[in-house]
Amino acid sequence: MIFRQLFDHTSSTYSYLITSRQGGEALLVDPVLENTARYIQLARELDLRLVLAVDTHIHADHVTGLGQLRKQTGCITAMGEMTQAECLSTRFSDGEKLKLDNVDIQAIYTPGHTDDSYSLVLPGRVLTGDTLLIRGTGRTDFQNGDAGAQYDSLFGRILKLPDETLVYPAHDYNGMTVSTIGEEKSHNPRLQVSDRAAYIVLMDSLVLNDPKMMDVAVPANRKCGLAKAA
């Protein structure tokens, strides 16, 4: 498998280019609009056919590249079935396998950061979107976020993966690129809670500013980034 982690400096977003082999079908996860040309160039350089682009959830801090990628490459665009994005080729549901040549990818519904958040499970690794971050978790105070649901997604699903599973989040603000489930269980401060109620209290106590781009990004992302809001 070829697995490339790509970074957007402006929003500290990680996007992921995944394929089984050079010359094969490729998937892009959480692409950022401004980097579309870079993704397409990299796919060309590696002789990949971009067939699928996925957002783990509707992002509030950057505009998605899904719409432009579909326009320019003809790839299928997909998100989970709860999403309010109106512009997708298809939607996946909990437990569904994504179709990509020779790569096993399962979408699992992990709401909490938003009500449309999914994680993608691959052999030996998981893309956690903004549900589980390295030494953090995604905020739950807007876009139908729900701290209790996030606790269930974390402790009931993601943290049930084997300890050695590599964790690749959608963001990191401290220069960390990858972690493991075991490492996060032991050292992620948000996960050191006694129970669900304690996690809700912890998340409700956070005082956070709205993301700078939220008022632009959320409406634009409901249109796959093809029409920015005024």
Closest CA to 32 of 221, 207, 229, 230: 221
Least distance to Fe ion, CB of residue 49, Å: 28
Is 67 or 138 the residue whose CB approaches Fe ion more closely?
138
Least distance to Fe ion, CB of residue 93, Å: 20
Is 19 or 114 the residue whose CB approaches Fe ion more closely?
114
Is 73 or 188 the residue whose CB approaches Fe ion more closely?
188
Within 148-207, the residues that bind Fe ion by CB under 5 A are: none
Whether residue 18 contacts residue 168, with contact meaning beta carbons closer than 8 Å, is answered with no
CA atoms of 138 and 110, how far apart (whole Å) = 11
Least distance to Fe ion, CB of residue 27, Å: 19
Least distance to Fe ion, CB of residue 130, Å: 4
Stretch that binds Fe ion, among 13-21, 35-43, 127-135, 206-214 (CB under 5 A): 127-135
Stretch that binds Fe ion, among 69-77, 126-134, 152-160, 185-193 (CB under 5 A): 126-134
Number of residues near Fe ion (by CB under 5 A): 2
Within 39-78, the residues that bind Fe ion by CB under 5 A are: 59
Burial of 22: CB neighbours in 10 Å, binned 0-12, 13-18, 19+: exposed
Within 77-106, the residues that bind Fe ion by CB under 5 A are: none
Query: According to the binding rule CB under 5 A, does residue 25 interact with Fe ion?
Result: no
Least distance to Fe ion, CB of residue 57, Å: 6
Closest CA to 151 of 198, 81, 188: 198
Is 24 or 145 the residue whose CB approaches Fe ion more closely?
145
Stretch that binds Fe ion, among 4-12, 74-82, 130-138, 149-157 (CB under 5 A): 130-138
Least distance to Fe ion, CB of residue 113, Å: 6
Whether residue 85 contacts residue 224, with contact meaning beta carbons closer than 8 Å, is answered with yes
Indicate the residue type of 75: C
Is 20 or 142 the residue whose CB approaches Fe ion more closely?
142
* Residue among 8, 130, 146, 172 that touches Fe ion (CB under 5 A): 130
Binding positions for Fe ion, rule: CB under 5 A: 59, 130
